[in-house]
């Protein structure tokens, strides 16, 4: 039998996600995201001011890359 992804399983009624599982998963993802942000803040704090400014100047282009990737 071929492998079937979770979304397809939901559509066919063979499986479903419960709100609790989604909430728990969302909390885990958010916790990991928050930890990555704290880690990057600590690292960025070690950079010289000019390098922090260069990263800040690049943010619009980086955000544009994210938008392109979401299309």
Render each residue's pLDDT in the chain as its tens digit; 71 residues: 455 555 565 566 655 666 666 878 888 999 999 999 999 999 999 999 999 999 999 999 999 999 999 99
User: Which residues lie below 8 Å from residue 17, measured CB to CB, with a gap of 6+?
Assistant: 6, 10
Q: How many CB atoms lie within 10 A of CB 50?
A: 7
The ranges assigned to domains in the chain are: 6-70
Q: Which of 52, 58, 28 is nearest to 40 (CA)?
A: 52
């Amino acid at each position: 039998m071929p492998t079937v992804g979770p979304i397809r399983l939901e559509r066919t009624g063979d499986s479903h996600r419960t709100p609790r599982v989604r909430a728990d998963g969302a909390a885990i993802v958010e916790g990991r995201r928050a930890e990555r942000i704290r880690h990057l803040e600590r690292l960025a704090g070690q950079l010289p001011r000019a390098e922090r400014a260069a990263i800040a100047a690049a943010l619009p282009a980086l955000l544009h890359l994210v938008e392109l990737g979401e299309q």
